[in-house]
Structure 1
Amino acid sequence: MEHFVVSARKYRPQTFKDVVGQQAITNTLQNAIENNHLAQALLFTGPRGVGKTTCARILAKMINSDGSEATSEEDFAFNIFELDAASNNSVDDIRNLTDQVRIPPQVGKYKVYIIDEVHMLSQAAFNAFLKTLEEPPKHCIFILATTEKHKIIPTILSRCQIFDFKRISVKDAKEYLKYIADEQGIQAEDDALHIIAQKADGAMRDALSIFDRVVSFSGKNLTRQAVTENLNVLDYETYFTSTDLILQNKIPELLLQFNSTLSKGFDGHHYISGLASHFRDLLVCKNPSTIELLEVGEQTKVIYQEQAQLASQEFLLKGIQLANDCDLKYKTSKNQRLLVELCLMQLASITFDGEKKNSKHFIIPPSYFKSKGVAPIPVQRPDTISEQPQEPISKEPVTEIKEVPEEVQKPVIEEVVSTPEPVINLSITKPSKSSSGLSLSSIKKKKEHLIKQMDVIIDEEELPKDDFTEEQMVSVWNEYAQRLDKKGEKIMASILQMDVPKLRDNKICIELSNSTLKVELERAQYPLMKYLRKSLNNYDIVLDITVNEEIEKKYAFTTQEKYEKLKEKNPNIELLKKTFGLDI
């Protein structure tokens, strides 16, 4: 069995041209070598798997290269020293390094020291390395590599020429994966490679590791479905289906799809954050100039553009806001599934125009979905009605009345009462005031009953706003206060009668003596305003409560006034005051 070498090692770049996504840094280093303008201390920093150590090795080889083809067995390869600072982080290790630096190279011009994970050095090791790094011998070059630049002391940073490696873009990673797939004879779909590049999150080494894993799973044919199944990621189709259901206001189907997603092992947080990203991608597709920001395959990009035409910009902005709010509240929520389900119901209600919406948290009522699958109003039974086309019902009912002898009326009526089946043609002598089961009035009553059962949201603009005088308002106000007094709510009744309310436009203004009374009235204002609006037939009026401190002073007694009141009730208090020399 042939030894398997992972793609991250097998396809490690050997020249600067092979390095993916770091053109600015590789061009700078190559020009520095050609122009003999290379610093003696370099620091390569950036995320994992973006080519720091690879570029350090390529640079070390190129420094001593004479321009011919170089291999790992060339003599100058012995002038390259790699030190892992994670395991050699003590002061003694750095001292040994500084002792070796003094010895010039036997072959070539430079000795190159590559110190990987340099942030793992101890504080004492850093201090021991300072002098050597600041004034290294002419034949020595240091290349430091780290993923955490903030852990390196400033004195080390100031002595190095810093190169910041960036994350590899999804496009560059996908192109390199496509090259490797062609080298290995693997048929890979464009969307499959794109998902791998996205999953790698800017790290080429991670992308190659994922690529090896997926190839082991699916073999020589790499499909999008195989990648999503192996990596356990939500496919684009999930979000396309969710968005279609949201735009069609299908809340039951949307909740069932979310339940199916959870049953596959996906997290609700991952689902809702992915839905927000999907809305962002649709918003990007609305403008042809921003389609380049969409990091998907060409086939998927066409589907995004088609769905973007169905969704308005207002809907997408509102959807992103709701999904982001849910994303922020997810970790602190005690019922996370319910939080996502409420968010999905609100999203599906954005484009609903069947009823007036007077709340930003509007959700389509359940009665809407219940009524959609049921016949409007079952009035007649199939076995008692002829299957003739129905004529339009006129406003005036036409009733055929036949005269029946008096001795026949009673048996006919008794038969009607006793039988459970509805009777259509009933002959009576006189038209009765009560309507039959098939009369227009009964149909109207049934319709009104069904409407009352539905969750109807009232449109405030259509509510009555009749005019009324201040005298009428005061009269209704006093009636309500009397009702409270009869019910035993003496305190609230007295608060209402402390001041006579004034009418200013659509405001009912009342002044109270202190803020405590204001708070009490504010708590009880809802039943009060309901009574006033209904009695005055005006739903536009509001209550304005203010505190007037002058009123409080008016009702409060001073110390002298209290003394005079007590003296009126008991004149001996004055004698008591003079006898003992008391103050008021």
Structure 2
Amino acid sequence: MEKFIVSARKYRPQTFDTVVGQGHITTTLKNAIKNNQLAHAFLFCGPRGVGKTTCARILAKTINCQNLQPDGEACNQCHSCKSFNDGISLNIHELDAASNNSVDDIRSLVEQVRFAPQAGKYKVYIVDEVHMLSASAFNAFLKTLEEPPSYAIFILATTEKHKILPTILSRCQIFDFKRITSNDTVEHLEEIVRKEELKAEKGALQVIAQKSEGCMRDALSILDKIVSFTNGTVTYQNTLEHLNILDHDYYFRLLEHLLQQDMAGAMLLYDEINRKGFEGDLVLNGFAEFIRNLLVCKDPRAAALLDVVEGMQQKYTDTAAATGMSFLVSALNILNEAEINFKMARNKRLHVELTIIKLNFLQQALELAADNGSVVKKKRLDGPVAYKTRSIPSLQAKNAAQQAPPAPSSKLFIQEQPAAPPTARTPVNRVETARAMVAEPAATPATTTLAPKSKRSLLDGLRERYGDRYLIEEIKEAEPLEINKLYQVWSRYGSKLEQQQKFTAFNTFKTARLAIDEDNLFTVTVLAPIQQKFIEQEKMMLTDEIQQAFNNRAITFRITVEEGEKEDVPLHLALNSRQRLDRIAEQYPLVMELKNRLGLELDY
């Protein structure tokens, strides 16, 4: 029985021309070889399965070819090319950095670099997955990578460029490999199918290319599996079945039910999908991708972004034209949130069904939000919005006020009595009361301003009118800080702490010194940081009591620690580990002898 070789190895490119989807890199390398402008170190980075290691091997074979072709390709006929194809070339060394990432492995590689090649021009060292090297291995590799011998060329390959040290990047010529497009993948698969004499539908190959996501190795592996599954006949349906992919016809039917607000039909369709074994997150992700494709079809300029099976483009375009843009954007947002929260849901099926219910009523919600065919924003408030106004007094009233002697300013607040008995009077709104307070002086004619009735203060007028329903008091003016009164309040609060048996805090309050810095700021000076902590623990209650005493909510204070003599620290706490060991060794010499005999090391 002949040994089976997977397609990824059997059809691995042997020349630059056979590399798929990386023309910008192969052209650069061929020109560098023809012009003899080879760098001493290359870094190939990009996604998995796009040809990094393949290009590294082709480059290593080509630069040692004894009969180089005019187009920069290897001849595959000379002794060097044949030995490379047979895997017995001594000029090419491959190192898997994922399993050989220590300093010793790199040192061994550096030792090999010192020996010149026995045959050929160059010795090529290919280090795959170079990002797995340790930091020490990178540092051991730096000098050799910067100034290698003239016959040594290093080719580094990695999928994670960001993990490589900048010092390594600066010493290499960097080539960024890109993902292979679906069209290039399909063309390569068709060529392999033709060579293998298989039967494959182009739609099936397009599905395989989409599933591989730009990785040629994955595409070839999927093709091998499906060929084994279908016994050599690859069709669109058996490809969907094998890859566990939902046909887009299900999504077209689901969208039709949602647009018609047929919730029963949509739920039954999801039940049919669920009974086929498709998980809820797969349905959400697939339907979101389907909505995305419809959004792409809305604009002819974005048609190139549509990545679907050949022959389905027109159906997508027709469906997108019949679906509103607002529905598609809102549906995509709902599906995205549902997919994010899917893992946290306990009942997965109910979670997906709730998403379908939201999408079912989405069209109705958009219609309700429309005003004469145009979408309007939701109103934040339906009722009237209060705004601040300021009345302008008349000129006559202003002149009269200037002639009258200035009255002492007073501030008022109106507090409703908590237990006022119900009366037959009409309740007065506070806003209306405030408006009356502002509007009443302005509404009085200027001719009556000098009458005896106008000499009645506003406070008396409010008491006469609302005294039986509201408690009207005059607010006291805020007092500035005064040191004697401040000490009284401070001592009174300390006495409370003493009654609560907080004797340490009481002593702190007793010894603290107060000093007024500004009208609303004073400083508390203590002797030690621990006293500062005691006062900070009481700061909220203490500040409130001081503010009430001075009728001033702007009062605050800060705490400072007076610089004094430093506290005596015990000797065993002031010494480090080495000093402690030396001190113990002076007193007990046998301790050092025990340490030396056991080979112990001190952990600093």
TM-score (structure 2 length as normaliser): 0.59
> Which amino acid is 1:22 matched to?
Q
Change (3 A) 1:97 1:271: same
SS of the residue 1:281 aligns to:
helix
Q: 1:73 matched to which residue of 2?
A: 82
Q: 1:477 matched to which residue of 2?
A: none
CA–CA separation in structure 1 for the residues paired with 2:262 and 2:337:
22
Per-residue deviation, 1:229: 0.8
SS of the residue 2:205 aligns to:
helix
Per-residue deviation, 1:13: 0.6
SS of the residue 2:153 aligns to:
strand
**2:428 aligned with 1:499:** yes
CA contact (8 A) 2:207 2:309 kept: no
**2:357 aligned with 1:345:** yes
> Which amino acid is 1:555 matched to?
L
CA–CA separation in structure 2 for the residues paired with 1:185 and 1:492:
101
Q: 1:473 matched to which residue of 2?
A: none
Q: 2:383 matched to which residue of 1?
A: none
Q: 1:24 matched to which residue of 2?
A: 24
Per-residue deviation, 1:294: 0.8
Change (3 A) 1:292 1:499: same
1:280-308 per-residue CA deviation (whole Å, 9 max, x = no partner) reads 21122233332221112221223222322
Per-residue deviation, 1:493: 8.8
State the superposition RMSD in angstroms.
3.5
Q: 1:197 matched to which residue of 2?
A: 209
Change (3 A) 1:492 1:54: farther
1:182-233 per-residue CA deviation (whole Å, 9 max, x = no partner) reads 2112221222111111111221101111110011101222111111111112
The number of equivalent residue pairs is: 390
Q: 2:340 matched to which residue of 1?
A: 328
CA contact (8 A) 1:191 1:300 kept: no
CA–CA separation in structure 1 for the residues paired with 2:189 and 2:55:
19
> Which amino acid is 1:53 matched to?
T
Q: Which piece of structure 1 moves more, 124-133 or 136-145?
A: 124-133
> Which amino acid is 1:88 matched to?
N
CA–CA separation in structure 1 for the residues paired with 2:422 and 2:238:
74
Instruction: Identify the match of residue 160 of structure 2 among 145, 148, 164.
Output: 148
SS of the residue 1:320 aligns to:
helix
CA–CA separation in structure 2 for the residues paired with 1:51 and 1:493:
89
1:141-188 per-residue CA deviation (whole Å, 9 max, x = no partner) reads 000111122222221111111111111122221221121112112221
Change (3 A) 1:178 1:135: same
1:492-540 per-residue CA deviation (whole Å, 9 max, x = no partner) reads 999x9763388xxxxxx8979xxxxxxxxxxxxxxxxxxxxxxxxxxxx
1:382-419 per-residue CA deviation (whole Å, 9 max, x = no partner) reads xxxxxxxxxxxxxxxxxxxxxxxxxxxxxxxxxxxxxx
CA–CA separation in structure 2 for the residues paired with 1:77 and 1:276:
51
Q: 1:135 matched to which residue of 2?
A: 147
> Which amino acid is 2:338 matched to?
C
> Which amino acid is 2:60 matched to?
A
Change (3 A) 1:510 1:221: farther
CA–CA separation in structure 1 for the residues paired with 2:360 and 2:433:
44
Q: 1:563 matched to which residue of 2?
A: none
> Which amino acid is 1:340 matched to?
V
Change (3 A) 1:305 1:555: same
Per-residue deviation, 1:62: 0.9
Q: 2:230 matched to which residue of 1?
A: 218
> Which amino acid is 1:297 matched to?
V
Q: 2:368 matched to which residue of 1?
A: 357
CA–CA separation in structure 1 for the residues paired with 2:420 and 2:367:
40
Per-residue deviation, 1:324: 2.2
CA contact (8 A) 1:7 1:209 kept: yes
**2:190 aligned with 1:178:** yes
Change (3 A) 1:32 1:104: same
> Which amino acid is 2:368 matched to?
K
Change (3 A) 1:74 1:351: same
Q: 2:471 matched to which residue of 1?
A: 555
Q: 2:59 matched to which residue of 1?
A: 59
SS of the residue 2:311 aligns to:
helix
> Which amino acid is 1:13 matched to?
P
Change (3 A) 1:70 1:348: same
CA–CA separation in structure 2 for the residues paired with 1:497 and 1:25:
89
Equivalence map 1:268-287=2 (5 Å): 268-287=280-299
Q: 1:47 matched to which residue of 2?
A: 47
Q: Which piece of structure 1 moves more, 52-61 or 240-249?
A: 240-249
CA–CA separation in structure 2 for the residues paired with 1:177 and 1:183:
10
CA–CA separation in structure 1 for the residues paired with 2:26 and 2:421:
81
SS of the residue 2:185 aligns to:
helix
CA–CA separation in structure 1 for the residues paired with 2:420 and 2:368:
38
TM-score (structure 1 length as normaliser): 0.61
CA–CA separation in structure 2 for the residues paired with 1:150 and 1:2:
43
1:58-80 per-residue CA deviation (whole Å, 9 max, x = no partner) reads 00011111225225524793311
Equivalence map 1:222-233=2 (5 Å): 222-233=234-245
CA–CA separation in structure 2 for the residues paired with 1:163 and 1:136:
20
> Which amino acid is 2:312 matched to?
T
CA–CA separation in structure 1 for the residues paired with 2:241 and 2:426:
73
CA–CA separation in structure 2 for the residues paired with 1:114 and 1:247:
57
Specify every segment of 5 or more residues in structure 1 that has no aligned partner in the other structure, as ranges: 361-459, 461-488, 503-508, 513-550, 561-582
Identity of aligned residues (%): 49
CA–CA separation in structure 2 for the residues paired with 1:492 and 1:243:
64
CA contact (8 A) 2:198 2:233 kept: yes
SS of the residue 1:260 aligns to:
helix
CA–CA separation in structure 2 for the residues paired with 1:510 and 1:347:
50
CA contact (8 A) 1:56 1:143 kept: yes
Change (3 A) 1:87 1:322: closer
Equivalence map 1:237-276=2 (5 Å): 237-276=249-288
Per-residue deviation, 1:265: 2.4
**2:327 aligned with 1:308:** no
Q: 1:386 matched to which residue of 2?
A: none
CA–CA separation in structure 1 for the residues paired with 2:162 and 2:422:
69
SS of the residue 1:83 aligns to:
strand
Per-residue deviation, 1:235: 1.8
SS of the residue 1:141 aligns to:
strand
Equivalence map 1:560-575=2 (5 Å): none
